[in-house]
Amino acid sequence: MKHTMQDFDREYDEEGKEEYARSQGVEEWLHEVSILKNGRFLKVGQELTEVLDYRENELLGESYERLLSPQHRSSLPAGDLAAPFTGRIHTRVRALRKDQSEVFVDIHGKVKQMDGDQYVLIKSLEDVTNRRQDDTHSREMEERFHAAFHYAAVGMALVSVNGTIQKMNYAFCEALDIQEHDQPQSILNYIHPEDRDGYLEGCTGLLIGELQSCEMERRFIHSSRRLVWGYLCITLVRDADGRPLYYIIQMQDITQKKETEELLRKSDKLSAVGQLAAGVAHEVRNPLTVLKGFAQILQGSDPTNQYYGLMLSEVERIESIISEFLAFAKPQIVRFDDHDLWLLVEDVVNLMETKAVMNSVSLKVLRDAAVSRIQCDANQIKQVLINMLQNAIEAMPNGGNIYITLKQEEYSLLLQIQDEGCGIPEDRVEKLGEPFYSSKEKGTGLGLMISYQIIEKHQGKIQVESKVNEGTTFTITLPMAQALNRMEERIS
């Protein structure tokens, strides 16, 4: 069966094509369109000749594959020409011009199956090489911005106006130990509860246009529940009409800076306390000795008077405080020798056993370390242990157990002192070791402060874990003698 122009008209009359006369049984189409029959050019349109720089007679009867680059040699806009297919086509291919230079062209057309033959009508053919280059450039720029965002040394996050985190870079995730692809959460979930109001106040200022950007220091909550200090710079991105889109938050981890500032603050306070201690202790001790002497004489003359005993106990407490002042203010010569930490612990436990029994406290000692030798000043380490056990006993007015455990961890020894006392609130734990700060009603905080100083001089550290109404654990970490010897050998 021979198909006429009317058959094609029924397919393409919506484009408003005019009918041409028949020519040798095959209809001639408008001069701008091209026709393929079974993969070979039956008609070459003006657009194709202009884009690919061919003359019409150079392509008539030729296969379409001649015009495709090697990468597209086996493809055609309509798909596989040998397969029965009917429908619209819209695709982009890499084609070859007559001079063999490559161009990218967008092709629009239709495919029709008639009597076992496949006809492809190419209605439009557009050179989009420059447009594709622009698209490639835009894509490359987008990839560069994407890389700059994710690999920036400063933590960055995109946060919606309602506070939901839309995107985070690697530095932001690392600072808080969270995963980039975690379920989207509110930024407030990571900010310390006490710092949320200040953060929201700054964001509100950006939202209502009072601020162009805002900077602040806020505490974040790490996945391990420790605090991370972040210096934030926040800006608000708006669309062309001024509508707010999202916040850009830049966060720099300043935790170490804050810890250094805290150490300097404590150092200044310690320096002031030292000067105060040196002056006050000596001035008070002389008249205090006189008061204590006369109180003892009066008590001897009237043993039944209970007030003399009360006076003497308070005077002795003042003497104890002055002794702590002098111990802190007076530079002490530290003599490091090789000692067995376990023997020092046993000596102190034997010393404190009587007081513990008087307060219904049981001291339980456990050794879980094969080696326990350290380089230390034995008297100072004993002073630390006495302070720790004294505090633990006083924390349990109703009695209980104190667990003293010695463990070995690589090149360090861990001495844990755990009580079952009242515990210390979380916000007070970080202040332990400061002068004049104590969780006890009549405490001065000097004993624990001196303990921290002694352990630091021994290249160790003290860590505190506490839960209210459950108890407190002090962990003292000290380097083993072997580790110090190796370090000295490397230095020498």
pLDDT in tens, 305-343: 878 888 888 888 777 767 766 665 555 667 888 999 999
Residues in CB range of 154: below 8 A, 6 or more apart: 171, 250, 251, 252
Record the tokens describing residue 436, joined without a space.
């004049």
Measured distance CA(64)–CA(79) in Å, rounded? 12
- Reported as a pLDDT band with limits 50, 70 and 90, residue 491 is very low
Answer yes or no: is pLDDT of 296 > 70: yes
Q: Given this model, what pLDDT does residue 313 score?
A: 80
d(CA 260, CA 307): 49
Looking at residue 16, what is its pLDDT?
41
Cβ within 8 Å of residue 388, ≥6 positions away: 417, 451, 474, 476
pTM for this prediction? 0.43
Only one residue has tokens 């001196």, namely 450
Alpha helices in 53-123 (DSSP H): 56-59
With beta carbons less than 8 A apart as the criterion, state whether 402 and 419 touch: yes
Residue 445: per-residue pLDDT: 60
C-alpha gyration radius of the chain: 43
Residue pair 309/299 in contact (Cβ under 8 Å)? The answer is yes
366-386: b or e for each residue (b if 16 or more CB lie within 10 Å)? Answer: eeebeebebbbbbebbbbbbe
Task: Give residue 429's pLDDT.
Answer: 76
Mean pLDDT, to the nearest integer, of 16-44? Answer: 62
**Distance from C-alpha of 427 to C-alpha of 5, rounded to nearest angstrom:** 90
pLDDT at position 439: 56
pLDDT surpasses 60 at 488: no
Q: What percent of the chain has pLDDT over 90?
A: 22
- pLDDT at residue 14, as a whole number: 40
- Structure confidence by residue, pLDDT tens digits, 103-142: 888 888 888 888 888 888 888 888 888 776 666 666 777 7
DSSP letter, residue 63: B
Confidence of residue 206 (pLDDT cuts 50, 70, 90): very high
For residue 306, the surrounding DSSP H or E stretch is: helix 306-329
Q: Of 31, 68, 35, which is closest to residue 47 (Cα–Cα)?
A: 31
C-alpha to C-alpha distance for 208 and 426, rounded to whole angstroms: 37
CA angle, residues 285, 290, 293, in degrees to nearest 5: 120
* Per-residue tokens: 257: 């800076």
Helix (H, G, I), strand (E, B) or coil at 412: strand
317 Cβ neighbours under 8 A, 6+ residues apart: 442
Confidence at 202, pLDDT banded by 50, 70, 90: very high
Model confidence at 18: pLDDT above 70: no
Single-letter amino acid code for the residue at 389: L
- H-run or E-run covering 474: strand 471-479
Whole-number pLDDT of residue 327: 61
- pLDDT greater than 90 at residue 419: yes
Of residues 403 and 295, more confidence is placed in: 403
Dihedral, CA atoms, 315, 354, 349, 403, nearest 10 degrees? -100
Residue 253 Cα to chain centre, angstroms: 9
Q: How far is CA 36 from the centre of its chain?
A: 61
Instruction: Tell me which range, 51-60, 125-134, 175-184, 320-329, is most confidently predicted by mean pLDDT.
Output: 51-60
DSSP percent split of the chain into helix, strand, coil, nearest 5: 45, 30, 30
- State whether residue 10 is helix, strand or coil: helix
Q: Which helix (H) or strand (E) holds 91?
A: strand 87-96
pLDDT band at 219 (very low <50, low <70, confident <90, very high): very high
What is the set of domains in the chain, with CATH numbers?
A: 5-128 (3.30.450.20), 151-253 (3.30.450.20), 258-329 (1.10.287), 337-490 (3.30.565.10)
Q: What is the pLDDT of residue 403?
A: 95
pLDDT greater at residue 4 or residue 380: 380
Of 96-105, 268-277, 397-406, the least confident: 268-277
> What DSSP state is assigned to residue 469?
T
> CB within 8 A of 248, min separation 6: which ones?
156, 157, 158, 234, 235, 236, 237
Of the candidates 193, 191, 156, the residue with the CA atom closest to the CA atom of residue 172: 156
Residue 6 has pLDDT above 60, yes or no: no
What tokens appear for 310 in the block?
């009360």
Give residue 28's pLDDT band: very low, low, confident or very high (50, 70, 90): very low
What share of the chain in percent tops pLDDT 70?
Answer: 77
The model's pLDDT over 443-460, given as tens digits with 9 standing for 90+, comes to 556 678 888 888 988 889
pLDDT band at 91 (very low <50, low <70, confident <90, very high): confident
Contact between 477 and 467 under an 8 Å Cβ cutoff? The reply is no
